[in-house]
Amino acid sequence: MKASRLKIVSFFIAAFIVTLLLTSCESTGKMEGAEKEIARKVDSVLSLMTLEEKVGQLMQYSGFGEFTGPVSDDHNYMEVLKNGMVGSMLNVNGAEYTRKLQQVAVEETRLGIPLIFGYDIIHGYRTIFPVPLAETASWDMELIETSARVAAAEAAAAGQHWTFAPMVDIARDPRWGRVMEGAGEDPFLGSLVAASRVKGFQGNDLADHSTIVACAKHFAAYGAAMAGKDYNTVDISNRTLHEIYLPPFKAALDAGVETFMSSFNEINGVPATANRYILTDLLKKEWNFKGFIVSDWSSIRELIPHGVATNEYEAGYLAMNAGVDMDMMGLIYDPQLFQLMDDGKVSQSQLDDAVRRILRVKFKLGLFDDPYRYCNEEREKEVIMNEEHLEIARDVARKSIVLLKNENNLLPLDPDKIKTIALVGPMADNQFDMIGEWSARGNPAEAISLLEGLKNSLEGKAQIVHAKGCQITGEDKSGFSEAIRAARAADVVVAAVGESKFMSGEALCRSDIGLPGVQKEFIMELQKTGKPIIVVLMNGRPLAIPWVKENVPAILETWFLGTQAGPAIADVLLGKYNPSGKLPVTFPVSVGQVPIFYSYKNTGRPPIPGIRWNSKYLDIPVEPLFPFGYGLSYTTFEYSEITLSDTILLPGGELTAEVTVKNTGVRDGEEIIQLYIRDLVGSVTRPVLELKGFRKESIPAGESVTVLFTITEEDLKFYDINMEFTAEPGDFEVFIGPNSVELKKAKFTFME
Ligand code: BGC
């Protein structure tokens, strides 16, 4: 009886597996079939094209108004468009206008090949979401995917086909202005975020009118710019390139990203846009990337000032031979490719390959079936900033907030007990800066400031007295007295301070990453009133604010949260949402510690306080201001010791690491439980910690959850002394905790 039941069960399991396999073969088969069909169509279009039309497909021109780089005076895209010499346009917006341009391409040119419209949709299209660094602080991949999906839906309704996002550059220097555009310092977290954003933008079907093509940028190592200065030289070891900077790009590719952007920087002497190893050998050949590579804005032309090309002709030659398929505003491929082809420097098959890649994406978007499917005025009205999108933006915003300090449970505020709140500081009523840089079509007037958000949330329960106090920058202190008067008369002071939106972003780097202007002095003066102060930070990068940390009882890192910043911050201040964000990037004590990141190497002389001859500073601590992974909650969590299922891991086997996390406070809360691993001895030195997993758990007050992490050989792999990606036998430490410092530890051995 038992045996026959077992047989039936095994039969069903086998049948299930076969069905699974067949379905997956079927879908792989279908995908391959669809790719073949597209390739056939691409070839049939290609066979009709003249040399001019082919070169035209490689050209991308910007509409007027939103330049992010130099533009030559004789730039007139309408003329070239009519001649069928444009493949793509960027910075053109709105269903109506994109339709007009598309009409010219489709109805007035010989072959009627549709344009692909691209735009920087970095954190929302018109409903602006938190800047990507902020969203990463949620450690919530579903949420991040949803945010990209909403951005895509709005952009697609307004005629966009393609976003120059996600930026997946790892950033370990907070001086770099573009820190805010990425996912922070860690390749593991960065890879998950990269994949989520790609899935969010592209969905499952590019031809769906609510999805757009994503672009993994900036390939590669742009974030490693020397001294955190934008566009600067990158001198990087092959190991660091492969271990730290490339994984998020690979993750984006595995998630199906259809385009890459070559970066501005050089890598070890060879500019990325002329780097055949990076673009062709690695990306197109080794990684088998089928989409196309667009240059960054005029980065082909910039090969001249880089000093690797004498003139435009040589610049075009280098970029084309490196593997750049589309020229964004370099105005080089047209006309240089004609001469380059004549001279036999660029072959017909090279040109055809680039054209094929671009046409393939246009086919995948469904543009050849209906070139106007994305320009839909009605959908545009319906979709953009609809209620659902605003709700999602508010949820993403509050989940991106990180509580950095909360002495004596000053937060959350209880409006039933507080009569007056002094809301002061240059960010308190500031719709403009709060939405952050790269905010696409975001309109500051449509954003809800902290003042308005707080007023609405209080529903008349407590009075708010607002005084700006000072500007973000400059030396003017004339507003201090009014703000101090307000503080004196209040029960609690909320000081909203930070950076202007034009202090974070492209070409917006800072050498001093403290609070700009007189804001620190402003807080110092407020503090003298003796009133409890909550500092609400709005900024796009880690800030070095040791005085604030030391002296102010409560600090909320709210980054640039976008359209719904005000309501989201109010939700957290008033305890309607219990903060759960964790820092995706280390906050330094001062710029002198930079670069500083949690996964550093031990060195031969790790720091010992008070003793000379080891690796530290005389005048600042070795420890950061706030470590990677750090963030508090209105409740408290207690971690048990780690229980390992075994102390030996064998190849092909697995271990589990288990902890119990108890909510020991009186409020329900969410906790991001982090798992790190250290390889104690390797053929090359290994970081002291590497993030290898995390879980975000909702834990009711007084209750516990037990979390199980599975560790396999895969988690132990790295580039060994021969640059082979492998796991080496030996001892490992495994750590679990609420951040990269407060960790429980256990040990195991990997045996071959
Ligand atoms: C930036 C890119 C951006 C492009 C188009 C460049 O300056 O580096 O990230 O996508 O401009 O706006």
The H-or-E segment that residue 520 falls in is: helix 519-527
Question: Is the distance from the beta carbon of residue 362 to the nearest atom of ligand 1 less than 6 Å?
Answer: no
* pLDDT at residue 75, rounded to an integer: 60
* pLDDT at residue 3, rounded to an integer: 38
Q: Is the pLDDT of residue 745 over 50?
A: yes
Q: Is the pLDDT of residue 8 over 50?
A: no
Lowest mean pLDDT, pick from 18-32, 152-166, 235-249: 18-32
Ligand 1 atom closest to Cα of 263? 8
Question: Is the distance from the beta carbon of residue 501 to the nearest atom of ligand 1 less than 6 Å?
Answer: no
* pLDDT at residue 32, rounded to an integer: 84
Dist. CA 586–CA 691, nearest whole Å: 14
pTM beyond cutoff 0.85:
yes
pLDDT confidence bin for 79, thresholds 50/70/90: confident
Question: Is the distance from the beta carbon of residue 298 to the nearest atom of ligand 1 less than 6 Å?
Answer: no
Question: Is the distance from the beta carbon of residue 504 to the nearest atom of ligand 1 less than 6 Å?
Answer: no
**How confident is the model over 488-546, as pLDDT tens digits?**
999 999 999 999 999 999 999 999 999 999 999 999 999 999 999 999 999 999 999 99
- Rounded to 10 deg, the angle between the 141-157 and 187-202 helix axes is 40
Question: Is the distance from the beta carbon of residue 178 to the nearest atom of ligand 1 less than 6 Å?
Answer: no
Spell out the domains of the chain, with CATH numbers in brackets.
1-24+32-116+347-377 (no CATH), 397-593 (3.40.50.1700), 637-750 (2.60.40.10)
**For atom 2 of ligand 1, which residue has the closest CA?**
296
**How confident is the model over 432-445, as pLDDT tens digits?**
999 999 999 999 99
CA dist 486 → 413, 416, 468 (Å): 18, 20, 10
Ligand 1 atom closest to Cα of 69? 7
User: Which residue type sits at 60?
Assistant: Q
Q: Is the pLDDT of residue 346 over 90?
A: yes
* pLDDT at residue 71, rounded to an integer: 53
* pLDDT at residue 662, rounded to an integer: 98
The percentage of the chain sitting over the pLDDT mark of 70, rounded to a whole number, equals: 95
* pLDDT at residue 26, rounded to an integer: 63
* pLDDT at residue 66, rounded to an integer: 54
Q: Is the pLDDT of residue 120 over 60?
A: yes
**How confident is the model over 132-180, as pLDDT tens digits?**
999 999 999 999 999 999 999 999 999 999 999 999 999 999 999 999 9
Annotated catalytic residues are 296
Ligand 1 atom closest to Cα of 165? 10
* pLDDT at residue 311, rounded to an integer: 98
pLDDT confidence bin for 70, thresholds 50/70/90: low
pLDDT confidence bin for 5, thresholds 50/70/90: very low
Q: Which residues contact 55 (CB under 8 A, 6 or more apart)?
A: 85, 333, 334, 337, 338, 351
Dist. CA 257–CA 542, nearest whole Å: 29
pLDDT confidence bin for 78, thresholds 50/70/90: confident
Torsions phi, psi for 415 (to 5 deg): -65, -20
Across all residues in the chain, what is the average pLDDT?
A: 94
Question: Is the distance from the beta carbon of residue 68 to the nearest atom of ligand 1 less than 6 Å?
Answer: yes
Lowest mean pLDDT, pick from 8-17, 379-388, 463-472, 611-620: 8-17
* pLDDT at residue 74, rounded to an integer: 53
Q: Which residues contact 192 (CB under 8 A, 6 or more apart)?
A: 141, 251
Here the tokens at position 544 are 């070095």
Dist. CA 586–CA 595, nearest whole Å: 9
**For atom 4 of ligand 1, which residue has the closest CA?**
297
CA of 298 to the centre of ligand 1 (A): 9
Q: Is 268 left (phi over 0), alpha (psi -120 to 50) or beta?
A: left
Pocket test for ligand 1, best of 296, 326, 438 (most atoms within 8 A of CB): 296
* pLDDT at residue 29, rounded to an integer: 74
